[in-house]
Amino acid sequence: MTAPLLLLDLDGTLTDSYPGIASSVVHAFTAAGLTVPTPAELRSFVGPPLHDALVARGFSPTQSGELVAHYRTAYGAGGMFENSVFPGVLDALRALRQAGAALLVATSKPEVYAVPICEHLGIAPLVDGIFGASLEASTATKAAVVARALTGRDDTEARLMVGDRSHDVHGARANGVDCVGVAWGYAEPGELEDAGAVEVVATPADLVASATRRLGLA
Give the per-residue pLDDT at 139.
60
**Which pairs count as long-range contacts for 175-179, CB under 8 Å and 24+ apart, including other chains?**
175/143, 175/146, 175/147, 175/150, 177/7, 177/146, 177/150, 178/214
Question: Where does the chain hold its CATH 1.10.150.240 domain(s)?
Answer: 18-81
Cα dist. 109→51, 54, 156 in Å? 11, 15, 28
Give the per-residue pLDDT at 43.
86
Give the per-residue pLDDT at 1.
54
Predicted TM-score (pTM) above 0.85 = yes
Burial class (CB in 10 A: 0-12, 13-18, 19+), 52: middle
Annotated catalytic residues are 9
The third-level CATH classification (topology) of the domain covering 5-16+86-214 is Rossmann fold (3.40.50)
Span 18-81: which CATH code?
1.10.150.240
Looking at residue 11, what DSSP letter applies?
B
Local mean pLDDT, 10-residue blocks, the chain (218 residues): 91 96 96 93 84 88 93 94 97 98 95 96 98 78 94 87 97 97 96 98 98 94
Cα dist. 143→52, 93, 177, 214 in Å? 13, 23, 10, 21
Half-sphere exposure of 130 (CA within 13 A, CB side): 19
Give the per-residue pLDDT at 209.
98
Number of other CB atoms surrounding residue 157 within 10 Å: 15
* Amino acid letter for position 196: G
Angle (nearest 5°) at CA 65 between 71 and 20: 15
Question: Where does the chain hold its CATH 3.40.50.1000 domain(s)?
Answer: 5-16+86-214
